[in-house]
């Protein structure tokens, strides 16, 4: 009878475990689903507070490309030569764009439309980023699960779903490459780790495909193709070489490079530029190591030593020769085969020294400390704990995560934009830290609560399931815990001998892994952790709602009489698109190029794809030249309208006057007659009465402040908080054709050249000679197109 009882109890526990596992599976499935919903919905603040509209600058270009793709199909897309931008050069869009995002949204749109769900391309584009951030948080779950088990995975996924740094790039409407690329990045890393843990060629192939998708999506793929070789090298150096590592690495390099070369914008760069050299170098190294291991296996130790000395002496000579050739090849190119952006990563001062156009972009500046707190918040404090957790014990997977965080911290320190790469790493490590802490605390509470000793086995099941996930590579971990475990139970057993009355725990397995904390301390610890998490959630929601949701083409301000909307940009673009000729060319600073082509459908001279420095410098020169010279430059470029952004009336700080010094610098970099000191008074940039005459006579100043004095009689600039220097002036070569409601965008038309009348030209000449400096610069300014 007792026997049957026992056996039934055993089967009951067995079914209970399977039930619990099934329940755990369903539970984590629903948690993941909710995390996806959270990731999606926290990014909808922009749609709710503003409207469903594409944000900022680059997304407008992507949107325009997607429109073209959906209208004309994939083949026309590859061959698309865009004559609306970079006039008169044009741009080969199909060959110069990372097509991943566009193809993704285009495919989404196509699927929806073939299911007869009539969504507009714009709607699909607006919601692509939130959808992919849900995918990204699921990918984070998978990656962290491979590293530290399901619990850490869920925590990391929840953290990533709302990390402000990622939200800033993926709110609804922020239709940019990064939105898709972060998912691809995490997923590629997941597949790498998965391959590393399983040694399965299937995952290795998937990994190469995922890498291909990443290459399609973002220039940041170089991060992957440098980080993974670094990790492989680290594994080899620390003696962790295994066949799994070989399978994880070699197919990725071969397949990945072949696939990457298929993307037109990468093409032969995949084998020619220095960004990819590391992967090939490590590819060679891993083969050498594999060979060494193989030979070691078939030779006796003595023979092996002989072979090593033989090969080393011969191999070194060959190596030196090869390295010398490589260095010679690389050194022969001026930038050592590195692209400007990569160089500015390796040498943070490079851009400001040589390429002002890269330095002029605000997101390429190094971040400040508060921006770390703003963008990753409490994760900044949890990351060190996570790193420690990764070292207990160190496995292939956890060493990868540590390497990832270290490199991404460096990169984020160089460029604020790369904070985005740091965010997933920070989330993963914080997830690990939080989950480990919770594990320890809850387990010690459970252990000390006598009432729920029956729950021990439950904890066991959780342990077992989480442990089994990370088991394969955690052999060392097992060893270590055994060591520590041996000490503690022996002490316990001594205690037991003294008090034989004490009931031994039913399953000592539970007890041995425990780092038991005092009961009260655990309660307080849990409380504090929950508080920390709550603080993080509050901060993230605030960041999503207030800081990162503004579409930047519509501005709002709260005043005493309610919400005030500044919709000036679209007002100007709508005016341009309806009231100018289709082929008119519009000149503006390059920031507004994408928006002008997308919203106003007019040809622009330069745009946000800053591929031609000279062209941008020409526009910069025109903006910083006096009116006549500027007119000549613009006229030679066929420009009909000039667009300037002016915030002085309403206090909009990122206007053209504030960006003007960059125009001078970039213009001066190519056309030396533009000199930055001419625009500065004692090294200070000012537009008030102390400003230099060059400044007060340049086109940008005149177009911004034309008739500004008539608004309030004093011409008080609300952004610079000063009265402007030169108040009353007339335009001779330009005429105002449109100014928006809040004066934020002003459009000028180039006047047609005057008929040559003898008397008049003489008069004009005498006028210009009276204005001394304008004559000087006027004479020296040469039209760069002649």
Partner 1 sequence: MKMGFRFDLLVLAVALLSTPALSDLVLTRVDRRVDLTSHIVRITSTLKVENTGKDSVSEVLLVFPARQVKNLAYLTALSSTGKGKAKTAAVNLPVKNVNSEGMPPALVAYSVSLPEGGLGKGESFTFDVSVVFTHSLQPFPEKITQADTQLLVFEESAYFLSPYAVKVQSLTVKLPHPRVESYTKLENTKIQGSEIKYGPYENLAPFSYSPIVVHFESNQPFVVARELVREIEVSHWGNVQVTENYDLVHGGSQIKGEFSRLDYQARPHIRGAAAFRNLIAKLPPRAHSVYYRDAIGNISTSHLWGDARKTELEIEPRYPMFGGWRTAFTIGYGLPLQDFLFKSGGKRFLNISFGSPISEIIIDTLIVKVVLPEGSRDISVSTPFPVKQWEESVFFMQTKFSHLDVVGRPVVALEKSKVVPEHDQYFQVYYKFNSISMLREPIMLISGFFFLFVACIVYVHADLSISKSSASYLAKVQWEEVQSVIQQVNNLINRCLTVHDKLDASLRDLSRTGDVQACKTARKQADGLLKELSKELKPLLSILQTSPQAVQILPKVEELVVKEKELQDKLMVKHTTVVECYEKKVSGREIENRIASQQNKITALRQEVDDLLDFIDEL
CB of 36 to partner 1, least distance (A): 18
CB of 473 to partner 1, least distance (A): 12
Binding characters for partner 1, 44-83, by CB under 8 A (x = yes): -------xxx------------------------------
Contact between 673 and partner 1 per CB under 8 A? no
CB of 102 to partner 1, least distance (A): 19
Contact between 550 and partner 1 per CB under 8 A? no
> Residue 297 class from Cβ within 10 Å (0-12 exposed, 13-18 middle, 19+ buried)?
exposed
CB of 497 to partner 1, least distance (A): 7
Contact between 515 and partner 1 per CB under 8 A? no
How many residues are present in the chain?
Answer: 786
For the chain, the helix, strand and coil percentages under 3-state DSSP, each to the nearest 5: 70, 5, 25
CB of 493 to partner 1, least distance (A): 5
Q: Choose which of 483, 497, 561, 581 interacts with partner 1 (CB under 8 A).
A: 497
Q: For residues 401-430, which are near partner 1 according to CB under 8 A?
A: none
Binding characters for partner 1, 626-645, by CB under 8 A (x = yes): --------------------
Nearer to partner 1, 57 or 213 (CB): 57
Nearer to partner 1, 333 or 468 (CB): 468
CB of 54 to partner 1, least distance (A): 8
Alpha-carbon distance 719 to 625, whole Å? 23
Binding characters for partner 1, 765-784, by CB under 8 A (x = yes): --------------------
Q: Choose which of 743, 750, 777, 778 interacts with partner 1 (CB under 8 A).
A: 743
Nearer to partner 1, 378 or 576 (CB): 576
Neighbours of 512 (CB within 10 A): 17
Contact between 25 and partner 1 per CB under 8 A? no
Q: Choose which of 141, 223, 350, 573 interacts with partner 1 (CB under 8 A).
A: 573
292 Cβ contact list (under 8 Å, min separation 6): 308
| Contact call for residues 670 and 614 (beta carbons, < 8 A) | yes
Alpha-carbon distance 371 to 573, whole Å? 33
Contact between 741 and partner 1 per CB under 8 A? yes
Alpha-carbon distance 524 to 441, whole Å? 9
Contact between 464 and partner 1 per CB under 8 A? yes
* DSSP codes, 233-294: HHHHHTT---HHHHHHHHHHHHHHHHHHTTSTTTTTHHHHSGGGHHHHHHHHHHHHHHHHHH
CB of 598 to partner 1, least distance (A): 8
The separation between CA 527 and the C-alpha centre of its own chain, rounded to angstroms, equals 34
What string of H, E and C letters represents the secondary structure of 579-617? Answer: HCCCCCEEECCHHHHHHHHHHHCCEECCCCCCCCHHHHH
Nearer to partner 1, 499 or 682 (CB): 499
317-325 CB contacts, 8 Å cutoff, 24+ apart: none
Contacts with partner 1: how many residues (CB under 8 A)?
54
Phi then psi for 681, rounded to 5 degrees?
A: -100, 115
Instruction: Please report how many Cα atoms fall inside a 13 Å half-sphere around the Cα of residue 48, on the Cβ side.
Output: 8
Q: Is the peptide bond before 204 cis (omega within 30 degrees of 0)?
A: no
Two tokens, residue 474: 């955690």
Q: Choose which of 76, 83, 363, 482 interacts with partner 1 (CB under 8 A).
A: 482
Nearer to partner 1, 43 or 746 (CB): 746
Nearer to partner 1, 347 or 735 (CB): 735
Contact between 575 and partner 1 per CB under 8 A? yes
Contact between 324 and partner 1 per CB under 8 A? no
Binding segment (CB under 8 A) for partner 1, from list 255-263, 501-509, 663-671, 690-698 = 501-509
Contact between 10 and partner 1 per CB under 8 A? yes
Contact between 578 and partner 1 per CB under 8 A? yes
How would you label 319-333 residue by residue, b for 16+ Cβ within 10 Å and e otherwise?
eeeeeeeeeeeeeee
Nearer to partner 1, 361 or 737 (CB): 737
246 Cβ contact list (under 8 Å, min separation 6): 286, 290
Nearer to partner 1, 352 or 472 (CB): 472
Contact between 582 and partner 1 per CB under 8 A? no
Alpha-carbon distance 148 to 429, whole Å? 10
244 Cβ contact list (under 8 Å, min separation 6): 195, 196, 197, 198, 199, 396
CB of 554 to partner 1, least distance (A): 8
CB of 737 to partner 1, least distance (A): 6
Neighbours of 119 (CB within 10 A): 14
> Residue 614 class from Cβ within 10 Å (0-12 exposed, 13-18 middle, 19+ buried)?
exposed
CB of 556 to partner 1, least distance (A): 9
Alpha-carbon distance 302 to 56, whole Å? 67
CA distances 294 to 195, 232, 289, Å, are 21, 18, 9
Nearer to partner 1, 318 or 501 (CB): 501
| Contact call for residues 635 and 750 (beta carbons, < 8 A) | yes
Name the nearest CA neighbour of 77 among 101, 53, 111. Answer: 101
Q: Choose which of 85, 144, 608, 739 interacts with partner 1 (CB under 8 A).
A: 739
Alpha-carbon distance 327 to 277, whole Å? 12
Nearer to partner 1, 225 or 586 (CB): 586
| Contact call for residues 564 and 556 (beta carbons, < 8 A) | yes
Phi then psi for 559, rounded to 5 degrees?
A: -120, 180
Instruction: Please report how many Cα atoms fall inside a 13 Å half-sphere around the Cα of residue 387, on the Cβ side.
Output: 13
Q: Choose which of 19, 34, 326, 478 interacts with partner 1 (CB under 8 A).
A: 478
Contact between 707 and partner 1 per CB under 8 A? yes
Binding segment (CB under 8 A) for partner 1, from list 89-97, 160-168, 466-474, 697-705 = 466-474
Q: Choose which of 524, 534, 565, 771 interacts with partner 1 (CB under 8 A).
A: 565
Q: Choose which of 296, 335, 365, 571 interacts with partner 1 (CB under 8 A).
A: 571
Phi then psi for 748, rounded to 5 degrees?
A: -125, 150
| Contact call for residues 248 and 195 (beta carbons, < 8 A) | yes
Alpha-carbon distance 113 to 205, whole Å? 31
Q: Choose which of 7, 333, 349, 368 interacts with partner 1 (CB under 8 A).
A: 7
Q: Choose which of 614, 689, 711, 761 interacts with partner 1 (CB under 8 A).
A: 711
Contact between 738 and partner 1 per CB under 8 A? yes
Contact between 2 and partner 1 per CB under 8 A? yes
Q: For residues 518-547, which are near partner 1 according to CB under 8 A?
A: none
Binding characters for partner 1, 81-120, by CB under 8 A (x = yes): ----------------------------------xxxx--
Nearer to partner 1, 3 or 328 (CB): 3
Q: Choose which of 74, 280, 285, 567 interacts with partner 1 (CB under 8 A).
A: 567
Nearer to partner 1, 158 or 750 (CB): 750
Q: Choose which of 144, 740, 774, 777 interacts with partner 1 (CB under 8 A).
A: 740
Residues of this chain that bind partner 1 (CB under 8 A): 2-3, 6-7, 9-10, 14, 51-53, 115-118, 464, 467-468, 471, 478, 482, 486, 489-490, 493, 497, 500-501, 504, 506, 508-509, 553-554, 565, 567, 570-571, 573-575, 578-579, 599, 707, 710-711, 735-741, 743
């Amino acid at each position: 009878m007792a026997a049957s009882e026992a056996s039934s109890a055993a089967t009951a526990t067995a079914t209970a475990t399977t039930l619990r596992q099934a329940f755990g599976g369903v539970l984590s499935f629903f948690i993941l689903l909710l995390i996806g919903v959270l990731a999606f919905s926290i990014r909808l603040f922009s749609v709710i507070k503003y409207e469903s509209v594409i944000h900022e600058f680059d997304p407008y270009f992507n949107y325009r490309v997607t429109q073209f793709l959906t209208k004309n199909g994939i083949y026309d897309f590859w061959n698309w030569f865009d004559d609306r931008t970079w006039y008169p050069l044009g741009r080969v869009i199909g060959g110069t764009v990372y097509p991943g995002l566009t193809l993704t949204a285009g495919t989404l749109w196509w699927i929806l439309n073939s299911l007869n769900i009539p969504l507009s391309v714009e709607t699909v584009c607006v919601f692509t980023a939130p959808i992919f951030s849900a995918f990204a948080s699921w990918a984070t779950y998978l990656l962290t699960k491979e590293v530290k088990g399901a619990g850490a995975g869920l925590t990391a996924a929840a953290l990533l779903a709302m990390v402000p740094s990622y939200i800033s790039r993926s709110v609804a409407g922020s239709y940019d490459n990064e939105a898709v690329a972060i998912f691809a990045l995490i997923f590629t890393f997941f597949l790498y780790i998965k391959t590393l843990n399983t040694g399965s060629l299937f995952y290795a192939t998937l990994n190469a495909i995922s890498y291909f998708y990443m290459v399609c999506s973002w220039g940041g793929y170089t991060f992957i193709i440098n980080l993974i070789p670094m990790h492989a090298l680290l594994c080899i150096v620390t003696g962790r070489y295994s066949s799994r590592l070989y399978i994880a690495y070699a197919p990725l390099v071969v397949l990945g490079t072949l696939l990457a070369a298929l993307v037109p914008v990468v093409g032969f760069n995949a084998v020619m530029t220095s960004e990819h050299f590391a992967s090939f170098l490590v590819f060679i190294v891993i083969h050498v190591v594999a060979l060494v291991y193989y030979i070691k296996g078939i030779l006796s130790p003595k023979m092996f030593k002989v072979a090593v000395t033989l090969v080393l002496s011969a191999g070194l000579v060959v190596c030196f020769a090869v390295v010398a050739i490589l260095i010679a090849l690389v050194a022969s190119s001026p930038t050592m085969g590195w692209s400007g952006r990569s160089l500015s990563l390796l040498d943070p001062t490079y851009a400001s020294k040589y390429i002002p156009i890269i330095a002029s972009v605000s997101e390429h500046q190094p971040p400040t400390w508060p921006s770390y707190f703003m963008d990753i918040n409490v994760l900044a404090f949890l990351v060190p704990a996570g790193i420690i957790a990764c070292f207990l014990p160190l496995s292939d997977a956890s060493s990868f995560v540590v390497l990832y965080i270290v490199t991404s911290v460096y990169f984020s320190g160089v460029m604020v934009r790369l904070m985005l790469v740091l965010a997933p790493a920070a989330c993963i490590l914080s997830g690990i830290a939080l989950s480990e802490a919770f594990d320890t605390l809850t387990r010690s509470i459970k252990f000390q609560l006598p009432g729920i000793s029956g729950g021990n086995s439950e904890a066991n099941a959780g342990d077992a399931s989480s442990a089994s996930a990370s088991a394969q590579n955690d052999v060392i971990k097992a060893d270590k815990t055994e060591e520590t475990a041996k000490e503690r139970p022996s002490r316990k057993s001594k205690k037991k001998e003294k008090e034989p009355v004490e009931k031994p725990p039913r399953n000592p397995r539970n007890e041995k892994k425990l780092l038991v904390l005092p009961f009260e301390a655990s309660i307080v610890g849990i409380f504090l952790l929950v508080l920390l998490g709550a603080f993080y959630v509050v901060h993230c929601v605030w960041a999503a709602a207030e800081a990162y949701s503004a579409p930047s083409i519509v501005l709002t301000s709260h005043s005493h009489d309610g919400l005030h909307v500044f919709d000036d940009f679209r007002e100007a673009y709508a005016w341009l698109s309806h009231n100018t000729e289709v082929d008119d060319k519009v000149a503006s600073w390059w920031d507004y190029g994408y928006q002008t082509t997308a919203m106003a459908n007019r040809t622009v001279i330069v745009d946000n794809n800053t591929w031609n420095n000279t062209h941008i410098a020409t526009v910069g020169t025109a903006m910083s030249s006096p009116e006549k010279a500027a007119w000549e430059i613009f006229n030679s470029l066929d420009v009909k309208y000039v667009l300037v952004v002016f915030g002085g009336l309403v206090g909009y700080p990122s206007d053209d006057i504030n960006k003007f010094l960059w125009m001078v610098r970039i213009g001066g970099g190519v056309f030396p007659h533009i000199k930055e000191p001419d625009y500065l008074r004692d090294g200070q940039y000012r537009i008030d009465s102390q400003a230099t005459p060059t400044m007060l006579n340049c086109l940008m100043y005149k177009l911004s402040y034309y008739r500004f004095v008539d608004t309030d009689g004093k011409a008080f600039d609300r952004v610079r908080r000063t009265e402007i220097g030169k108040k009353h002036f007339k335009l001779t070569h330009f005429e105002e054709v449109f100014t928006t409601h809040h004066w934020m965008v002003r459009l000028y038309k180039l006047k047609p050249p005057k008929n040559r009348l003898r008397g008049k030209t003489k008069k004009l000449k005498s006028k210009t000679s009276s204005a001394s400096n304008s004559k000087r610069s006027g004479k020296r300014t040469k039209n760069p197109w002649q």
